[in-house]
Structure 1
Amino acid sequence: MAFNPTRAIVQNEGCDLHYWYQGNGPLVTFIPGGNGHGRQFNPIIAALSDRFTCVTFDRRQMSASKVEVNKKLSPPQQARDVRAVIQALGFGKSIIFGSSSGGIFALQFAHDFPNMVDHLISHEAPTATLLPDASEVFEWMLHLMEVYETQGLDQAAREFRAELIGYDDEGVPKTAPPEPENPRNFWDNEFPILIGFTPNLWRLKENRVSIGVMRAVRCKEAFFARTTVEQAKILDCPHAVVPGHHQGFEVETEAFVPYLLDMLDTLEKKRSGGV
């Protein structure tokens, strides 16, 4: 379908959350990661809106969703923002898709509001504390924070981008850039929290939340790709290797969509006892 969404705003905890939606059927909520803007999901919304109601949004303090004073990231508050968007559309539950730190917020949403989750797909959530080499990755992140504080955003982003494998592969389209203020908010207020935050995956397993995790093939051994292996071990959930890089759902959408649909089918069969 052509991309032609309805746009709206819902106010939650001092933030006007700008969201947009399209389609009919069960709700799929797409949660942005560190770049903050929902535009990255516009292609997949267009691709899926013939069978789902698809919604995404600009996260608080990002793009159109402004606040009076930016504050440090609270993953539980991000989860409450997701709840506000879902409820604004009149739904009691949703399929949840979160990528990168959006995957962390998706897992936190499932922790705090398990009854609002139909199925959840987490795409390369960077829960670095679960890795076998967690100490090394954590200290690399501390180094990046020091680079940001002493050498500035451009140098920190340059070093971080070296981990974003696959973005420069031949023939891969470029992703939509975030608004200029988004990276500053990410480094000021989000990165320092995210380097040590992991939702309680054991509680998610205990609550029997329907979850699948995805790892992008172009990311190879990037730390956020490897975290999915550890997540699947703890959650005892389906794990898929999918097309594209860390934002493959945006720029290789046609190849990505069948894998998303297959994961949803797998989760539905698992819940009904079919697998």
Structure 2
Amino acid sequence: MTEPSTGSLRVNGATLHYEVRGRGPLLLLIPGGTGGTASFDAVADQLATEYTVAAYDPRGMSRSTLDDPEAEQRVAEHADDALRVLDLLSPGAPARVFGSSSGAIAAVHLLTARPDRVAHLVAHEPPLVEVLPDAAEHRALIARVGDTFRAQGLMPAMSVFAAGLRKDGDSAGPRAEVALPPQAAARAERTMADLPYFVGRIVPSFMSYAPDVHRLQALSDRLTLACGQDSRGELPYRPAEFLAERLGTPLVHFPGGHTGLTTHPAEFGEALLKALASGTAG
């Protein structure tokens, strides 16, 4: 793996850690969950054969510190962080953007707020549950996760959250993925420290966010909605599926499930390059 160049960027209320590899037009990677820049380690070199690849730790996670550790988190502020990174690294041209999970939610807001800065967005399984017809059920899930977190702690809250992501009637939970490679397993241990922040402040804020669907309709030629081919029926899959149908755009399937970036990195990177090159993929 090529060692990236690193830097820090002051933004409103936080200092962001970012990493850059490669040459060519800018591709900004926005991680989901608690993965940070490390979640892209297995694909960054592959993507850097065609792009200048930039990734950053979202505010409050890993090496991106908050001025106020107790500050509430907002999707619009996280999207503005992405904009500041774009302005730093590609001030004269719009950039391609990839976002995964909660990072895809921030990326969707960035596209609708500043379409002049986004040449194309690939959004992988953004859990935009407010667009779904049964959104009220998912609001109740978010409330249960928060109540459980406050009353019982992190792991019981994670169990409630995981149960809510399952396929309807699937008592076994989401489809099992392949075993994590050693590097990914070590990274998973490191990111455990960010889980309380993620469950307590990212999940309730991001999963309550309602995108401007009419705005997305007008910008649909710059948006690729993507899902894991093993995720069908699970909650993170459904909003992208719903929006693709609503917007009249193809739904692209990437290898693996919600965490395909980690479990199938080479195939995932190949699919992402194809989607970025064509705007749509099969």
Task: Please give the TM-score of this superposition, normalised by the length of structure 1.
Answer: 0.89
* Structure 2 counterpart SS, 1:224: coil
Instruction: State the identity as a percent.
Output: 26
* Kept after mapping to 2: 8 A contact 1:104/1:198: no
Residue correspondence of structure 1 range 1-275 to structure 2 within 5 A: 2-35=1-34, 37-70=36-69, 71-91=71-91, 92-162=93-163, 163=165, 168-173=176-181, 174=184, 176-177=187-188, 178-207=190-219, 210-267=222-279
* Kept after mapping to 2: 8 A contact 1:110/1:209: no
Residue in 1 that maps onto 2:169:
none
Moved more, 165-174 or 253-262: 165-174
What do residues 19-65 of structure 1 show as CA deviations (whole Å, max 9, x unaligned)? 00100111111101131512101111111111111010001111111
- What is the distance in 2 between the residues matched to 1:76 and 1:140? 23
Deviation at 1:146, TM superposition (A): 1.4
* Kept after mapping to 2: 8 A contact 1:114/1:209: no
Deviation at 1:171, TM superposition (A): 4.3
- What is the distance in 1 between the residues matched to 2:18 and 2:159? 30
Supply the AA of the counterpart residue of 1:132.
Answer: P
Supply the AA of the counterpart residue of 1:133.
Answer: D
Please list every run of 5 or more consecutive structure 2 residues that lacks an aligned counterpart in the other structure. Answer: 167-172
- What is the distance in 2 between the residues matched to 1:229 and 1:90? 31
Task: Please give the TM-score of this superposition, normalised by the length of structure 2.
Answer: 0.87
* Structure 1 counterpart SS, 2:97: strand
* Structure 2 counterpart SS, 1:245: coil
Q: CA RMSD in A?
A: 2.1
- What is the distance in 2 between the residues matched to 1:66 and 1:47? 29
- The alpha-carbon distance between structure 1 residues 48 and 198, as it changes in their structure 2 partners (threshold 3 A), is same
Deviation at 1:209, TM superposition (A): 5.2
- The alpha-carbon distance between structure 1 residues 206 and 44, as it changes in their structure 2 partners (threshold 3 A), is same
Supply the AA of the counterpart residue of 1:200.
Answer: D
Moved more, 132-141 or 106-115: 132-141
- What is the distance in 1 between the residues matched to 2:230 and 2:220? 31
Please list every run of 5 or more consecutive structure 1 residues that lacks an aligned counterpart in the other structure. Answer: 270-275
What do residues 239-261 of structure 1 show as CA deviations (whole Å, max 9, x unaligned)? 11211121212331111123212
Report how many residues are paired.
268
Residue in 2 that maps onto 1:273:
none
* Structure 1 counterpart SS, 2:55: strand
